[in-house]
Chains A and B, each alone.
Chain A
Amino acid sequence: MTANRIRLAATFAAVLAAGIAQTAVGADDEIVLGAADSLTGKYSVNGKNTQDGYNLAAQVINDKGGVKVGNKHYKLRIVYYDDESTSARGAQLVERLITQDHVNFVLGPYSSALTKAIAPITEKYKVPMVEGNGADRALFMQGYKYMFAVLNTSDYYLRAAVTILADETKKAGRDPKSLKIAIAIENDNFSQDVRDGVIEDAKKYGMKVVIDDKLPADLNDMSSTLTKVKALKPDALFISGHEKGAVLGIRQVAAEKVYVPMLALTHCDSAQITEKFGKDADYAFCGSQWDPSLTYTDRWFGNPQKYTELFKKTFNYEPPYQAAESTAAVEVFADAIERAGSLDREKVRDALAKTNLMTFYGPVKFDSTGKNTAKSMVMYQVQHEKYVVVAPAKWATAKPIFPAPTWAKREAATTVGAK
């Protein structure tokens, strides 16, 4: 009886193992990339952007013949797991991708927090990871050798807004030293770093930080912070809290009629603030990694405009930068694998380190810590319910409007316009 059972169990285990082995090791003309991505949980909006970006890259590269290694063409296949937006789960799943699914390489997860959890694992197994969604500066201070990031670090998201604030104030004949700023961020790695960037630059100009609030993770309301803004009347309010932060920021600032000359945010485009709030979103400044109007060239997609068109056709929404940087991460892998002429992880790592690639997302060149030093961020402003690029000057399509008109003036303008 027991012997029978053991035999049964053994057979079952063998079948199971065979099944796993089959799904795991790719066919011999395949390169398997593994990704733990946030398909559920608090990051799931951007997790989906990330997945769509990866999938579009794989699809286009495969359609155009795949990745050429030596004389052989390989197709890309991506294996996904859902990390539920939790770090512990992400780390487990990446270990599983490497040890059980035997993926060739790893693509990054969504968010700095998840990337932080995963990087030690990819380092341990010496598997190269290219990521497009972990922007926390601390990631690049650990001496990681196998992690490469195509995006700018998160402290750069709103630095340009501080510069605009200072420049416009000087133009108006006031000293930037007289400026007061308020910061409200979600208490996570990414937003902390956004905050640090703002504070560093604000200190350079001698501005005074009058509010420095860290909103709870189950961020559902920020009215007490806004009451403080009403009381202390800062010249600028910086909000960072992924989509929720952007949505709440615009909605509550408008509903409570809180006036700030400058409102600067992150994640405006993926939160779709112009679609949701129309005129209420006007004059907001938004830091972004990328914009469809930029003029880069690309081997696979042509340029940012063509990428945007194809993305919209495939997924039925405008690509936010989170999708674009994910696509770029796959492109960087394709390029490095071709240059390495091998699927050997060490050779690909060395090729990655020597990357000098132009993509639709921007130039990619890694420093010794693995961060992309070639690309710069863009700063939008919402003007007449449209995003226009106001910095850097090279791509600016409009001048920044500062200070924003008061709510009374904005409402008067609306009534006139309505007539």
Chain B
Amino acid sequence: MENLSVLIEAPILLVQLVVGGILIGAIFALVAYGMALVWGVMKIINIAQGEFVMLGGYVVFYLSRAGIPPLAGVPIAAVVMYCVGLALYRIVIFRVVGRDMFTSILATFGISILLQQLANQIFSADIRTVPSTLPSLLFAGGLVTIPEIKLVSFAAALLVGFALIVFLRQTRLGRAIRATAQNDRAARVLGVDTDHVYAMTFAINCAICGAAGGLVAMTWFVQPYLGLTYTLRSFMIVIAAGLGNVPGVIVAGAGLGVVEEAAGFVLGAEYQTAFIFVLLILILIGRNLALARQRRYLK
């Protein structure tokens, strides 16, 4: 509790924790959009989500080695991962759409292990970093620092979220995706090519993860085994925000980031992850109670 008193004495640090947390949460939110999309439309929980992030990171890493500035590499990573997503859909994912959820979990779990090991073989297990070349902003005499790359990530998360909403509402494909999410059979009856919708959904998810991966490589590092962190965090954000709720994903992502930072500060880093999962369980219990009450009303 010593740490708590530090926080009370210097409340400016709270600003650092909140701002830092929101900015970290933005990257998680980015990954979570994709997961919510695939989950909502295809009824697939994609365990390989984190591995797509990892691959996106490697794309930006190799591009920056070839002399392309990392920030320019991020959209390229999205395009590359879009193609990877399309290929994965055509090879594996189309076989598990519409099957039991357990089958798709197994399939994507398999993909995740495969991608990890392939990355280990091809890129080696060395920890890679991409220089962000962006400075840090200092406030309050250095007590609050914001690396600009985190601001960029935050902006990217908002931008992608906004683009996603517009895309789903305004475009033909977007409407087809929403229709398929609501009722795939009815969509098919009305002439929607659901196979195409699934392929696009999965590829868009991969593209989003690819962009997130590029930002991760500039903020932290890439390594073949970094996927699980992102899969778990995005899973949790989606659970908390609910499917098909893009603003909710941003809020949940930012909230997760802030709570995680604060828990790390007050309780110590060893309880950081544990605290998050305790919170998840509490959210689920709370949800369950709320739902049970609704069920009672229905009777």
Chain A residues in the interface with B (C-beta under 8 A): 40-42, 44-45, 47-48, 184, 187, 212-216, 218, 220-225, 227-228, 230-232, 243-244, 247-248, 251-252, 255-259, 271-272, 276-277, 407
Contacts and interface: CB of A to CB of B under 8 A. Distances in A.
B184 interface: no
Contact of A216 (B143, B221, B269): B269
10 contacts: A213-B269, A216-B272, A218-B228, A218-B229, A224-B262, A224-B272, A227-B17, A231-B13, A251-B220, A256-B145
Nearest to B142: A257
Contacts of B138: 257
Contacts of B142: 230, 257, 259, 407
Interface in B120-145: 120, 124-127, 129, 132, 136, 138, 142-143, 145
B145 A257 contact: yes
B220 A221 contact: yes
B268 A214 contact: yes
Given A40-B125, A216-B270, A231-B10, A224 B147 contact: no
Contacts of A44: 120, 125, 224-225
Interface of B: 3, 6-7, 10, 13, 16-17, 20, 24, 116-117, 120, 124-127, 129, 132, 136, 138, 142-143, 145, 147, 149, 219-221, 223-226, 228-229, 260-265, 268-270, 272-273
Contacts of B120: 40, 44
Contacts of A277: 129
Nearest to A258: B145
Contacts of B17: 224, 227
B136 A247 contact: no
A227 B145 CA distance: 9
Given A213-B268, A214-B269, A247 B129 contact: yes
A277 B221 CA distance: 12
Contacts of B260: 224
A415 to B, nearest CB: 12
Contact of B221 (A41, A42, A47, A248): A248
B127 A244 contact: yes
A276 B129 contact: yes
Contact of A187 (B116, B125, B223, B270): B270
A227 to B, nearest CB: 5
Contacts of A40: 116-117, 120, 125
A247 B219 CA distance: 11
A41 B117 CA distance: 9
A65 B298 CA distance: 85
Given A220-B226, A259-B142, A227 B16 contact: yes
Contacts of A259: 142
A41 B269 contact: no
B261 A227 contact: yes
B221 A251 contact: yes
Contacts of B116: 40
A144 B213 CA distance: 46
Contacts of A222: 269
A160 to B, nearest CB: 25
B24 A223 contact: yes
B221 A247 contact: yes
A230 B265 CA distance: 11
B221 A224 contact: no
Contacts of A187: 270
